Amino acid sequence: MYKYVIQFLLTCTIISSGFGQTYLSLEQIEKVDDIKVQMKSVAQYQFANPSHHRSTNRDFPNGWVPASFYIGVVAAYLATEDDYYHAKASTWAESNNYTLGPRLRHADDHACGSVYLSLYTKTKNKSHLKAVRSVYDQLIANPLPGREDWWWCDALFMSPPTLAQLGTVTGNKKYHKFLHQMYWDTAEYLFDKDDGLFYRDQRYFYRRSENGEKVFWSRGNGWVIAGLPRIIANLPQKDKQRESYIELFKTLAFSLKDLQGADGFWRSSLLDSEEFPNPESSGSGFIVYALAWGINQGYLERDDYQPIVENGWTALNRAVHGDGKIGWVQDIGMDPRDVTFDDTHAYGAGAFLLAGSEMINLVKNKNP
């Protein structure tokens, strides 16, 4: 009964459309104790209703779509210490035999490796590392520039964090060295210094929205900023490149914070909220996760960013249907598009779990 009372409070009619400007403060969030309940609800819905696709690697059980969800599942386990999440992630990894996707050079097919490496930190089963290590060893032996292998900004969530984790669990510096080489070449290529945001890929360098604005995709930039915490956390303090990732993280956070709508959501097209005015929850979820992480780590000023995170987390809860389905999730794509309250996808649930994991930490940090 308690679970459904909380879900009612968070999905009541006044705000279930995703619009509205009232949001819960951290104190109110803590009082209703909604975070773990909503995370479990969203996770259970996604486990019961997995996404299925019929093209390219989206049909693969170890492709980027389920991987981005299970990255959130692992984060939920670490934040809640609920073995339910660990068991689900382990079952998924075992069903994939701890293998990566079939395309050696494609970043999307590396995302699942992040889940395997996270599980390895508990199991210490070296067989779980074999496929991940083999892929990156082959890439290091035959390198291409980052802008060729990671030519779209989504790739910066899919492959670099896995590579960073591999360097951590193996202790082999060559993986971090390769990471830096690849990442900064990609960033130099796709990052717009004037607006402090990432283009999705080169096709958008000169494209403009219907209202004449540059096209910066919410989920694309969400992918990038959500990948950075998982990179930074896996770099030694003495790594000379670590501070550069932190500075990029701060720059993105600063650029994104003023683009949040009054209702707590970021729009699909970051600079042109009028072109697709509906909320978009996957990009918003990744951004809330990253900003909350930044506060928790002391990289972002609490007074400046906590209201944004509170507003964003409240908005994400408004996107959750009564059965745990998270709506307002833009379909698979490469640029801003329209979205409805009924649209959902596994990566939207993954973003929600990531955001929830850092909201738990934010509450704990406020009241240790």
One digit per residue, pLDDT tens: the chain, 368 residues? 434 344 434 444 333 445 544 566 666 665 337 899 999 999 999 999 987 544 444 558 999 999 999 999 999 999 999 999 999 999 999 999 999 999 999 999 999 999 999 999 999 999 999 999 999 999 999 999 999 999 999 999 999 999 999 999 999 999 999 999 999 999 999 999 999 999 999 999 999 999 999 999 999 999 999 999 999 999 999 999 999 999 999 999 999 999 999 999 999 999 999 999 999 999 999 999 999 999 999 999 999 999 999 999 999 999 999 999 999 999 999 999 999 999 999 999 999 999 999 999 999 887 55
Task: Give strand pairing partners of 208.
Answer: 214
How many other CB atoms are there within 10 angstroms of residue 202's CB atom? 12
How many other CB atoms are there within 10 angstroms of residue 274's CB atom? 11
Judged on CB neighbours under 10 Å (0-12, 13-18, 19+), 137 is middle
Whether the Cβ atoms of residue 184 and residue 151 lie closer than 8 Å to each other:
no
Judged on CB neighbours under 10 Å (0-12, 13-18, 19+), 185 is middle
Amino acid 17: pLDDT: 45
Amino acid 317: pLDDT: 96
Q: Is the dihedral of CA 327, 248, 74, 257 positive or negative?
A: negative
Instruction: Give the count of domains, the chain.
Output: 1
Q: What is the dihedral of CA 44, 265, 51, 84, to 10 degrees?
A: -20
Q: Which domain holds residue 248?
A: 2-366
CATH of the domain at 60: 1.50.10.10
Whether the Cβ atoms of residue 19 and residue 279 lie closer than 8 Å to each other:
yes
Amino acid at 203: R
Question: Catalytic amino acids?
Answer: 154
DSSP string, 160-195: HHHHHHHHHHH--HHHHHHHHHHHHHHHHHHEETTT
